[in-house]
Amino acid sequence: MRRIELASASTAFLIGRDPSVTNLGNNLTPVKLSNSRVSRAHLLLKEEAGEWWAQDLGATNATQYQGLGKLPAGEPVVLPSDRPCRFVVGGYLIVLQQPRGRAFVEVHDPHETDDANASSATSRMESLADPFKKLARSASKLMKK
Query: In whole angstroms, how far apart are CA 121 and each of 6, 109, 117, 118?
Result: 24, 11, 6, 5
Q: What is the pLDDT of residue 111?
A: 76
Helix-then-strand count for the chain, H and E: 1, 10
Q: What is the pLDDT of residue 126?
A: 58
CATH assignment at residue 95:
2.60.200.20
| One pLDDT digit (tens) per residue for the chain, 145 residues | 999 999 888 889 999 999 876 677 778 999 999 999 999 999 999 999 889 999 999 999 999 999 788 999 999 999 998 899 999 999 999 999 988 768 999 999 887 766 555 556 656 555 555 555 555 555 555 666 5
Q: CA 128, CA 135: separation in Å to the nearest integer?
A: 12
Domain extent for 14: 2-144
* Contact assessment for residue 85 and residue 66, using Cβ atoms and an 8 Å cutoff: yes
Q: CA 64, CA 67: separation in Å to the nearest integer?
A: 7
Q: How far apart are the first and last CA of the chain?
A: 49
Closest C-alpha to 80, from 93, 98, 63:
98
C-alpha angle 121-65-100 in degrees, rounded to nearest 5: 90
Q: How many domains does the chain have?
A: 1
Q: What pTM does this model have? A: 0.78
How many alpha carbons fall within 13 Å on the CB side of residue 108? 18
* Residues linked to residue 59 through DSSP beta bridges, in sequence order: none
Q: CA 58, CA 41: separation in Å to the nearest integer?
A: 9
Strands 28-32 and 12-16, sheet pairing:
parallel
